[in-house]
Structure 1
């Protein structure tokens, strides 16, 4: 797991690795230079407190060196931070561009199982989570290594005994921190699972509050949520309490006040015994107190580092999604006959959702797909606009495999209207015009009238220029207007009137009927009374074609279609 995460981070950071190396070198120089003023202060004290060795020239040399060290530290640390933050901005821009470009190449069907929230998290949140890793982590790591090592080396030169006393807290801190991090990933997974249980219980309680109150079960439903919260609290406390105690021990081991206490105690004993000059206490009081500070800073950033590793895994996973292969040998369809030739398809590579499906759709006709839920209707229809590619078999338009039709040309041939309508955050006019960007305002309004949504749009504040939230039925009619405007020769309709009210359903059906002339139409039917006039009805069950024919002929057969029809009739009578 750790190797995989390290590999994912390495892959993501490859474009900025050189700049991070340069920043690390600059930070090493800055960390070394930051010690110079303190060393010079100690040396200045030696000069001024010992009149016998006082030398004005040497004193000014020490002062100049201290000033130079401060200047170098300021310039080098500023340059290092500038390099890492510019690298961070460049990397975020590159990753966001790569992700957006990737989303343009993945199969359209991928978006069916991945909501906009997941995409937003990857593009915005996860990429932003890499900021600490690129902008700060390298600098913190270099400081955490260079500062203690150089400080300890100088203190050893002054007095090895006091150096050991000053650094005694460092191994204690490292050992405590290692113990604190043991099993961190497993515990974090348990906490995430407990949090998910709380969220589920809360959503169930809120969504079902009316039902549970009606049946007098509000207290029971609340108890389920309370138990989930208590379980989380108990688990979190068992994990955090010992870790907090260990963390407190680790931080106190290298805290300045703890180091100062050790330095003063040891130096008092050594000075009293005559084995240490009083002036030699100063370097340990000055430099020893800050020796562990870079390590503390690095420790405080470990949470952000972990978040960055997890974000890198998600971003890498998204960038690794298999792409839809581009048209290998682009070809131009001759006509608009649609053929499904022995098509087999599976989402997981194991269970076939479609099995050996063959059918032909001719221009000027309507073919309706019907069948029980899960029979493969939507999957088959979405192979036509190439949401996915079939595992076996071929989908052709005009005699050409859809895999050999460039995507831009394919979407000019095939229009779609599905139940799960998505409108973009733009004006209603521009949402309709997505079907044909060059369309005039008059053509947009004509399409809206045909889709029976024109009057509703005019009622919005701003009319066609409004950016408004529409109901499901209204959004679907906007989608129908978009398809009418696109005027594609092949049309896929997934129960296009599913959200329409009874008054407008007939009008929408009339509007859709204008698309049939000279066009190839494939309809996914959930309400059978809407497709009784279809030229061809294809019945699917368990991913295979079990019946086909006209409405009247299929009703005469003792098969799936008649059972579905009778079941639908019972439902209509019960309303």
Structure 2
């Protein structure tokens, strides 16, 4: 056996091992369903046997009327029981299929949320959702195939083969087994060969889906650069690859079907020929001929299913492999076992000689050391790329430090549970992304159990209540995909409101007023100062005017703290901070450019 086949078999076994514990939880349903399965197949096999008995009885004259009548009643009862038992089996297995699919998909979804920010920055949302969607449907399909098709087919083939071999000469056994072996060998070989085309089709499908989602999420950017045609061409390129892979997959599927039909037809013809010869020679009755023909028809259907089953199972396993690859993605930031709760005694935040890099090559933070006293506000300023937002990510434990220590009230963040840590920290990010839901939902997301009065109160505090009330649908207004129906300032105020609703011990404002106009910013700054009162607060800012009231200001440059002190002290030091302050003051004082006197109001030269 080839290395590829061995790897494929190992992957298949691994997948079934993962599914087994969830399925085994419903073992009594499974065992009851298997009992109904056996009953269904016994009834199915009994129908041709009764039919043979009925024909042989009618072939012998004279025949009492009661005998065929009883046989006909038994025939009808077996036909009915076949359908009833099959439907009962479906009822018993329904919960097993649905619950297993739900639990495993939920496990993958939860695992994706447990992965570090590093993974999510590199991911393609459209591709992941497509893999998750296909994997979810594939779980039900795999179990349905195994329990409804594979086991019944194997059982039926074994029973029919045993009866043919037991009642007739060895030629029936040789033809039957030869047909089965040829059919299975051809199906396995062809399916393995064409699986490469199916995988290529899946990959092309995932790529096309990822491109379409990425393009639609960036709808405004596409419009800004008038690149609709370019996006359509890029998407069409993915669709062309999908088309080619799909055509090859369908063509090879047809070749597989032709080969399977040829093998089954040859086997059936040989068996009917042997049965006809036996009747002519007097070794078999007319009922035997009908029995063999009926059995062969019953055997042909499962054989056709067997090819489809193997083909669909391999394709399903391919889909599940992609989903389990997500489940196998290592969790970078892990809790200790057991994970103690973070205990807030005052909210002191301490960074001790912290070093950090995202990729292990370019150092982002270098020997960063500072303390935020309980209830105090510390601001971090510096140019773009200095490492300001990285401090917030480390405090929220999106990443673990490479060296040094980050602690809250003396507790190393790596030694407490992430849930308890993040419960105590509220973040207003620079880039606010909202859920495609109502304004009320997005504010209440800070604490879903909050009352409506509390939601309205924080909306007032964030100066967004009056805006919401001015809308026709008020708090029920939908904000659109990623909040695109709102302006940048409106989104920022919603983010501030939901963080206020969370009411954490520690606050992080990461450029929290960057998208606000000057008038709104002044009001929001007042509310932020009120919100920060009594909370340990880390403010990350580019605009220095927003941090002049901070208890301490750190100036970060290329990952190092180059200055620290109050606004007044740093200005007096005439260092890096004073230079940045002077530059920003000049920019604020620069008058807006006037229209050129030689240009018309419409902008014509």
User: TM-score, normalization: structure 1?
Assistant: 0.79
**Judging changes above 3 Å, is the alpha-carbon distance between structure 1 residues 162 and 103 closer, same or farther for their aligned structure 2 residues?**
closer
Shift of residue 557 of structure 1? 7.3
Aligned to 1:15: 22
Q: Give 3-state SS (helix, strand or coil) of 1:500's partner.
A: coil
Q: Would the aligned equivalents of 1:497 and 1:508 in 2 still touch at CA under 8 Å?
A: yes
Aligned equivalent of 2:380, options 368, 373, 398: 368
Aligned to 2:511: 495
Aligned equivalent of 1:237, options 223, 247, 252: 247
Q: Would the aligned equivalents of 1:433 and 1:482 in 2 still touch at CA under 8 Å?
A: yes
Moved more, 120-129 or 18-27: 120-129
User: Given the alignment of the two structures, is residue 336 of structure 1 paired with residue 350 of structure 2, yes or no?
Assistant: no
Aligned to 1:290: 298
Shift of residue 259 of structure 1? 6.4
Q: Deviations over 1:447-496 (max 9, x none)?
A: 32332212211022342354544514322211212233444442101111
Aligned to 2:429: 418
Aligned to 2:489: 473
Aligned to 1:448: 459
Shift of residue 226 of structure 1? 5.8
Equivalent-residue separation in structure 2 for 1:491 and 1:397 (angstroms) = 13
Moved more, 411-420 or 197-206: 197-206
Moved more, 94-103 or 552-561: 552-561
> Counterparts in 2 of 1:127-138, with a 5 A limit?
127-138=136-147
User: Given the alignment of the two structures, is residue 523 of structure 1 paired with residue 536 of structure 2, yes or no?
Assistant: no
Aligned to 1:299: 307
Q: Give 3-state SS (helix, strand or coil) of 1:421's partner.
A: coil
Structure 2 stretches lacking a partner, 5+ long: 1-6, 594-605
Q: Would the aligned equivalents of 1:371 and 1:564 in 2 still touch at CA under 8 Å?
A: no
Q: Give 3-state SS (helix, strand or coil) of 1:342's partner.
A: strand
> May I ask how many residue pairs the two structures share in their alignment?
568
Shift of residue 296 of structure 1? 2.3
Q: Would the aligned equivalents of 1:343 and 1:393 in 2 still touch at CA under 8 Å?
A: yes
Q: Give 3-state SS (helix, strand or coil) of 1:515's partner.
A: helix
Equivalent-residue separation in structure 1 for 2:133 and 2:237 (angstroms) = 35
Shift of residue 159 of structure 1? 4.7
Moved more, 13-22 or 198-207: 198-207
**Judging changes above 3 Å, is the alpha-carbon distance between structure 1 residues 102 and 263 closer, same or farther for their aligned structure 2 residues?**
closer
Equivalent-residue separation in structure 1 for 2:133 and 2:78 (angstroms) = 40
Shift of residue 6 of structure 1? 2.4
Q: Deviations over 1:194-236 (max 9, x none)?
A: 446656777779968768879xx96x88776666655554454
Structure 1 stretches lacking a partner, 5+ long: none
> Counterparts in 2 of 1:311-390, with a 5 A limit?
311=320, 314=323, 317-318=326-327, 322=331, 323-325=334-336, 328-330=339-341, 332-345=343-356, 353-362=364-373, 363-373=375-385, 375-390=386-401
Equivalent-residue separation in structure 1 for 2:242 and 2:339 (angstroms) = 54
Equivalent-residue separation in structure 1 for 2:450 and 2:60 (angstroms) = 91
Q: Would the aligned equivalents of 1:343 and 1:358 in 2 still touch at CA under 8 Å?
A: yes
Q: Give 3-state SS (helix, strand or coil) of 1:245's partner.
A: helix
Q: Would the aligned equivalents of 1:107 and 1:324 in 2 still touch at CA under 8 Å?
A: no
> Counterparts in 2 of 1:76-475, with a 5 A limit?
76-95=85-104, 98=107, 126-156=135-165, 157-161=167-171, 164-165=174-175, 169-195=179-205, 229-254=239-264, 278-301=286-309, 302-303=311-312, 306-307=315-316, 310-311=319-320, 314=323, 317-318=326-327, 322=331, 323-325=334-336, 328-330=339-341, 332-345=343-356, 353-362=364-373, 363-373=375-385, 375-403=386-414, 410-411=421-422, 413-423=424-434, 428-429=439-440, 431-435=442-446, 444-469=455-480, 470=483, 471=486, 472-475=488-491
Q: Would the aligned equivalents of 1:29 and 1:76 in 2 still touch at CA under 8 Å?
A: yes
Shift of residue 275 of structure 1? 6.6
**Judging changes above 3 Å, is the alpha-carbon distance between structure 1 residues 348 and 16 closer, same or farther for their aligned structure 2 residues?**
farther
Equivalent-residue separation in structure 1 for 2:152 and 2:460 (angstroms) = 68
Equivalent-residue separation in structure 2 for 1:337 and 1:89 (angstroms) = 48
Equivalent-residue separation in structure 2 for 1:417 and 1:99 (angstroms) = 28
Equivalent-residue separation in structure 2 for 1:268 and 1:20 (angstroms) = 42
Equivalent-residue separation in structure 2 for 1:261 and 1:477 (angstroms) = 78
Aligned equivalent of 1:46, options 26, 32, 56: 56
Shift of residue 93 of structure 1? 4.8
